[in-house]
């Protein structure tokens, strides 16, 4: 069954090798050695700190559940640190079978059980977050507890000043949006795309859960950060949306594959509001995670919580944004989806086989925006690509609709660079791929 499900094995021989922890000194190796155990330790600490809350709500059963979840997570941390083989999932939720089939597929690929350092980093890192979820699922009555909720909420509150500035900018802009000529419309779109791009710096899985909020004025830095955009296809995005608008298309549908909650989510919602209000799009679909993921990734609960926080804020423009956004949701012109495929370990090139319903849904889009590093890793398979390989080629036949990646570089993969560009950066700044200083706005359209 597994070999039928994962047809990508047939293509694998012609693709570069996957990034993995077995390459000592690599970013994958350092992540598995240092960052992932730190995240697990913080999760264990979070559960421990909330045991009184679990007792108040559920009595002795709450305390037993907390102990059981911590035992599962401590075992997981030990397995990771000693490079034990990955094991099948024991819970029974909708994606369990797919995860266990994927494990079987990897066993068949190398004739030995996958392990933390030997197997592809993309797989093992996703597997860790899925095992965190399993520890909670197997510990009722605290199964629904989001172990990353506190960090996401702190990131939102710590970015308050930047959120006020951005929501004020949007509301002032909306007053005159119908009178903007094409040149001004383009300038405003470019500004808000760049704010959305640089908002991707606020990633708690990279900082190990440490404060990584947006404190500076996000609009002030747009101009000075332009030179750090290594691939800039922003004109292609503008042309696509403008052509649709000029043709008075009945529906221009935009899909945003979300990344982090907190400030980045606000930047994405502000961009979405602008696109809707300027009639560059008239239907926006947001795709988030169905379970807590990579510390700060957006779930439906996070989306609803952020909109409610904006609505009830003691600031008129923040509040106005929240009211508008809830209205868009109620009217069905903003739609939230949380397909389980986004929390599977697969590269997106496998989507058509593994989740044909999602692939079909994305084919309805006029433009898909993929936010952040994990989405980029899944777009191009998290492999040791040459810097100059075309983005279209690295997508490995994943072409549901025109798509664009907004990403600040926080792991060591990048394609679509000019000859010599990557090497020059490596010479002048050896860690350019992992420090979040550089960004891309990288576009591809099906041929």
Cβ–Cβ under 8 Å, residues 420 and 178: no
Gap between the Cα atoms of 298 and 372, Å rounded: 12
Cβ–Cβ under 8 Å, residues 262 and 296: yes
| pLDDT at residue 24, as a whole number | 95
Q: How far is CA 38 from CA 23, 69, 122, 204, 205, in A?
A: 20, 17, 18, 12, 10
Cβ–Cβ under 8 Å, residues 368 and 255: yes
- Whether domain 2-137 has CATH 3.30.70.1710: no
The string of pLDDT tens digits covering residues 12-43 is 458 999 999 999 999 999 999 999 999 999 99
Gap between the Cα atoms of 315 and 409, Å rounded: 33
Domain with CATH 3.40.50.10880 in the chain: 164-444
Residue 246's CB: how many other CB atoms inside 10 A? Answer: 9
Q: What is the DSSP string of 382-420?
A: TB---TTS-HHHHTTT--SS-EEEEEE--SS---SPPTT
Cβ–Cβ under 8 Å, residues 308 and 322: yes
Domain with CATH 1.20.930.60 in the chain: 2-137
Helix (H) or strand (E) holding 368: strand 367-371
| pLDDT at residue 210, as a whole number | 52
| pLDDT at residue 8, as a whole number | 46
Beta strand 439-444 with 403-408 is antiparallel
For CA atoms 145, 148, 150, 154, the dihedral sign is negative
For CA atoms 111, 80, 355, 407, the dihedral sign is negative
Residue 105's CB: how many other CB atoms inside 10 A? Answer: 18
Tell me which residue of 371, 386, 380 sits closest to 347, measured CA to CA.
380
Query: What is the number of H-type helices and E-type strands within the chain?
Result: 21, 7
DSSP state of 17: P
What 3-state class would DSSP assign to 36?
helix
pTM of the model: 0.95
> Going edge to edge, which strands form the sheet with 229-232?
229-232, 439-444, 403-408, 367-371, 253-257, 283-287, 334-337
Gap between the Cα atoms of 65 and 72, Å rounded: 11
DSSP state of 25: T
Phi, psi at 356, each rounded to 5°: -60, -30
Spans of the chain below 50 pLDDT: 1-4, 7-12, 207, 211
Gap between the Cα atoms of 367 and 231, Å rounded: 18
| pLDDT at residue 434, as a whole number | 94
Phi, psi at 120, each rounded to 5°: -55, 135
At the fourth CATH level, the homologous superfamily of domain 164-444 is Uncharacterised protein PF01937, DUF89, domain 3 (3.40.50.10880)
């Amino acid at each position: 069954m597994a070999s039928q499900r994962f047809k990508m094995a047939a293509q694998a021989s012609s693709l570069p090798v996957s990034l993995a922890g077995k390459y000592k000194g690599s970013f994958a190796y350092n992540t598995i050695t240092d960052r992932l155990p730190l995240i697990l330790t913080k999760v264990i600490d979070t559960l421990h700190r909330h045991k009184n809350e679990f007792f108040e709500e559920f009595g002795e059963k709450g305390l037993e559940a907390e102990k059981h979840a911590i035992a599962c997570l401590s075992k997981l941390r030990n397995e990771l640190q000693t490079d034990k083989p990955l094991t099948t999932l024991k819970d029974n939720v909708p994606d369990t079978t797919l995860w266990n089939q994927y494990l079987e597929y990897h066993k068949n690929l190398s004739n030995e059980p996958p392990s933390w350092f030997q197997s592809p980093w993309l797989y093992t890192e996703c597997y860790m977050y899925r095992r965190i979820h399993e520890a909670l699922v197997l510990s009722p009555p605290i199964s629904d507890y989001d172990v990353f909720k506190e960090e996401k909420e702190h990131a939102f509150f710590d970015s308050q000043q930047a959120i006020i500035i951005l929501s004020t900018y949007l509301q002032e802009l909306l007053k005159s949006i119908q009178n903007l000529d094409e040149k001004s419309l383009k300038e405003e779109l470019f500004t808000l795309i760049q704010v959305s791009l640089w908002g991707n710096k606020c990633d708690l899985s990279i900082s190990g859960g440490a404060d990584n909020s947006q404190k500076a004025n996000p609009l002030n830095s747009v101009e000075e950060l332009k030179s750090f955009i290594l691939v800039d296809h922003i004109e292609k995005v503008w042309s696509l949306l403008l052509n649709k608008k000029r043709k008075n298309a009945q529906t221009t549908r935009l899909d945003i594959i979300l990344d982090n909650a907190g400030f980045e989510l606000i930047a994405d919602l502000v961009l979405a509001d602008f696109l809707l209000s300027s009639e560059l799009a008239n239907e926006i679909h947001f795709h988030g995670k169905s379970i807590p993921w990579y510390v700060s990734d957006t779930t439906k609960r996070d989306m609803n919580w952020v909109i409610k926080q904006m609505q009830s804020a003691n600031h008129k423009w923040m509040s106005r944004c929240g009211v508008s956004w809830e209205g868009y949701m109620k009217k069905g012109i903003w739609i939230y989806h949380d397909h389980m495929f986004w929390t599977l370990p697969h590269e997106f090139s496998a989507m058509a086989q593994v989740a044909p319903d999602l692939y079909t849904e994305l084919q309805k889009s006029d433009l898909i925006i993929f936010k952040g590093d994990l989405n980029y890793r899944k777009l191009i398979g998290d492999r040791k690509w040459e810097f100059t390989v075309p983005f279209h080629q690295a997508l490995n036949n994943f072409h549901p609709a025109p798509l664009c990646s907004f990403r600040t570089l926080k792991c060591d993969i990048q394609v679509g660079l000019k000859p010599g560009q990557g090497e020059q950066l490596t010479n002048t700044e050896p860690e350019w791929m992992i420090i979040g200083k550089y960004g891309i706005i990288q576009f591809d359209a099906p041929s």
